[in-house]
A and B are shown apart, each in its own frame.
Chain A
Amino acid sequence: MTNATDTGLGGLPPVEPFRPSLRERMSGWAFYIPIVFMVLFFALPMALTVVFSVFERTMFWMEPGFTLQAYENFFFSARLENFLASMGYSLISVAVSFCIGFPIAVFVRKSVPQAAQHRVVLLFILPFMVSEIIRIFALRPVLQRNGLVNETLTSLGLIDEPITALIYTHTGVIIGEVLSFMPFIVFAGFLAMEAVPKFIFEVCDDLGAGPVRRFTDVILPLAAPGIFAGAVFIFVNGIGVALIPNILGGPGAVNAGLIATQAISALDFPLAMAVSAIMMATLMGLLYVGHRLFDLTKILAPMN
């Protein structure tokens, strides 16, 4: 697409002015449509959350002004505690997902024939074909007092009393988050392992590096940017998806997404905007730290 290149890049101004036809110029500009769309309907609304968060709250809406009321509401109440707690549980979900999912990514890259690798990874897309909310709701009959897990364990004689801590608790939230987001660490790990050439495994065997040294000295540093991206994804969704604590959590299981949703139901729009702004700041901060540590642009290598 020479048009896009030429309109997109400066370079030195030509001595002879080019006169591309109107149609050519139009088709060059067409490539900016997605960019403009995303700026207008994604970047701009996200940036404006900061502005709207300091507006004055009115009965049903808000009006321009400057007040930190919404932030006070957030930081000097149980919301902050809940938010921080949800971050902790989200971190646990990230760790559990990593431990379950990343070995799978390594295994697929290392031991599955090249041609079949993509198909195996495709297996992990299957759960995404079913609505997230349905999958989360479906956990209720599975984890309930008389649900699938407890029924199975009881009939096997492993437990006498049903385990009630599986749902309507923080454990329930973590189970929900792991089951919802674990595949992402498989995808991210799979892409990240592209940075680890297959012969590395042979070199390690040759040098006598054991599996542990191989993992900490070679795989982890090379795959770090991809793993980080996957971890950030799970983390921000863990604190941002309201449905999981709403459906599976007990008292106190309130994350940022739920605070925002509740604020909107209560018509407290500035509070919802403040939560969004805080979430955005958290994400930006994480990405900045990650970029400084690992150079996240490396993740894009497989796409070029």
Chain B
Amino acid sequence: MNANTPAVQVRQLCKNYGSVQALKGVDLSIAAGEYFVLLGPSGGGKTTLLRTIGGFHKPSSGQVWLNGQEVSHLPPDKRPTSMVFQAYALFPHMTVLGNVGYGLSLAKLPKAEVRDKSVAMLEMVGLSGYENRRPHELSGGQQQRVQLARALVLGRNILLLDEPLAALDAQLRKDMCLELKHLQEKVGITFIHVTHNQEEAMTVADRIALIADGELVEQGAARDIYRTPERRFTASFVGENNLLSGTVAAVEGDTVTVQVCGQALAVDRRDLPVRSGETVALSIRSELVEMVPAEGAAPADGRSLAGTYTESVYLGLTLSHRVALADGTEMVARIVGESDTPEPPAGAAVRVQWKPGALRLHVN
């Protein structure tokens, strides 16, 4: 295996359940040693994709290549992958040590070696001293650590994680996220992690792929996905974006003028194929929007919209002002930290504005 061979390559992968298309021709390449996250709404096909890579589903068409070998016809036990499941996948009739050592004893390793390797792996996931417990005697977080140990001890170089933290409470999930990230850095193998939680995805991922409706919507580094989403769907799913729709009024060089609620907005074209009169989507992250009182005439720079203030939502860390535009579209301006300025009365005329480059254009 060449160092440049991707750990996982998926080509034109389709999976049908009767008339339902769970995957519609997905192409994906994941480099060796990468922490890759499949992010998307439930029922979007991300778990199906992961399970097809793991060999738990046979593809209806298309191919899966692992470490440069076509494996579409192989069952899970013949693939270079191991898997961590959502929950309840520990063997309840075995001890923790039995669970971890199960795969090794299947491989007919000597008993002492199975034991030593399992104990070492349990130490690595922070569960020394729990060897003789049964799964039902462990907390949710501990159970997932045992699953990790059970998968990692096999020494395979691709680890699949199917919503591994979904059953844990919020605080524990945050801690485990970081631990997962550090663990991956330590063992250096490819992790493919499925989640619907964007914070979890951002914490652990080197790269993120957005999966929705059976298709790969967009992929890229976590930071890029958050800051510069290409597709409207990405903007709607990642971060807290305001989404606007409008009609293209003019295209001049790199700048596109879009009419939204009777007001002209200027937005960077980014080489997108866009024509006058076309309906397009615009997105802007709420923390980049600033709400100001509507005093005097609005500047004609195409970076503000007039609306009426409706309410504020205080979340401690952030304060969100909600503003209704003329057509009823709601926009959110989010401030991090406390604000000293008193809030305007409901129904007051306000303006939302932003800095150049904050607004992004999306075409279909």
Contact = CB atoms under 8 A, between A and B. Distances in A.
Direct A–B contact in the complex, CB atoms closer than 8 angstroms: yes
Given A14-B61, A15-B61, 8 more contacts: A2-B56, A2-B58, A11-B60, A15-B62, A18-B72, A18-B73, A19-B73, A24-B75
Contacts of A2: 56, 58, 75
Contacts of A14: 58-61
Contacts of A6: 58
A24 B62 CA distance: 22
B128 interface: no
Contact of A20 (B17, B61, B63, B73): B73
Interface of A: 2, 6, 11-12, 14-16, 18-20, 24
B299 interface: no
Contacts of B73: 16, 18-20
The 8 closest A-B pairs by CB, nearest first: A15-B61, A18-B73, A12-B60, A12-B16, A11-B16, A11-B60, A14-B61, A19-B73
A195 B60 CA distance: 36
A162 B75 CA distance: 74
Interface in B69-121: 72-73, 75
B56 A11 contact: no
Contact of B72 (A11, A12, A16, A24): A16
Q: Give the bracket for the number of chain B residues in contact with chain A.
A: 10 to 19
Contacts of A18: 58, 72-73
Contacts of A19: 73
B342 interface: no
The main secondary structure of chain B at its interface with chain A is loop
A19 to B, nearest CB: 6
Q: Which residue, B14, B56, B61, B62, has most C-beta atoms of chain A within 10 A?
A: B61
A11 B63 contact: no
B18 interface: yes
B16 A16 contact: no
Contacts of B56: 2
B269 to A, nearest CB: 39
A12 B61 contact: yes
B18 A11 contact: yes
B17 to A, nearest CB: 7
A20 B74 CA distance: 8
Q: Which residue, B16, B18, B59, B73, has most C-beta atoms of chain A within 10 A?
A: B73
B104 to A, nearest CB: 24
Given A2-B75, A16-B72, A18-B72, A11 B17 contact: yes
Contacts of A16: 61, 63, 72-73
A300 B173 CA distance: 37
A12 B61 CA distance: 8
Nearest to B76: A2
A16 B75 CA distance: 16
Nearest to B58: A6
Q: Which residue, A11, A19, A20, has most C-beta atoms of chain B within 10 A?
A: A11
Interface in B6-58: 14, 16-18, 56, 58
